[in-house]
Structure 1
Amino acid sequence: MLHKILKIIALILSVLGAIWLVRIILAGDTAITDSAELQDSLVTPFILIAYATIAIAIVFVLVFVLKNLFSSGSSLKGTLIGLGAFLAVVVISYGLASGEEVQLRDGEVLSASAVRWVEAGIYAFYILAIVAIGAMVFSGVKKLAK
């Protein structure tokens, strides 16, 4: 039953999105850029359809994740361990980052806090990439050993 409802909602949103996309293409970029009325009548509904699609997807993902998460205790424990490990990587990355104000090309200044968070994100990426590569190598070596 839920699957049929989702298919109908997806079909309606797809048709509405396609209609507005065709209307936007037929109006043309220049006309839309020059006219606030066309922006309100063509672009705004298209954006609202996209927002509705994203909101529905997020709600259903959260519902199914929470449903499956609490269906068995072991999956909850594994999820919490994974979340804790990810948070530990973020904390370690933030601790490694220094952060100093940076002058941008357009003349604005990026604050030390923002620079530190960007640097922390880069460090977190490197740490997670190394862990992922290590896990793949370990898995391959383990398979070869068997």
Structure 2
Amino acid sequence: MPRKNWSDLSDNERQWVWNIHKEADAILHSRIQSIMTLQAILFAASFTVSGIVNDKFMSLTYSLAIDLMGTVVCIGLFVFDRIILNGILRMKEYLVEDEIYSEFYRTKDVGYLFVKIIPWALIFIWGTVLALNIYTY
């Protein structure tokens, strides 16, 4: 089916695109907020465990488990949010033709760079924490 232009869409189709975009954007933002909260809790747990457990081996074991959990959550964020992000970017192909939408963003290229970088930055941080835990053991 050929792609329709924004001007070719009916009012119902335009409203549908707006609503789907709004909901997908809200899901993406709520996931990022949840992941960042979980990451903060995992970071606190990692540093707390390494500070209060007297046995070095157990401290390292708990810290490694928490570090691994943090890394797995980051990878999950990357994989599952990529699906939603691709859908949002696809809908933007329609929405950028709308004057209000393009004026709101003041550009026709909104690429969600922050969303794409978050998982990789967190994986780097978890790798650093893991290296520090192993180094201090």
TM-score, with structure 2 as normaliser: 0.35
Higher relative contact order (CA 8 A, sep 6+): 2
TM-score, with structure 1 as normaliser: 0.33
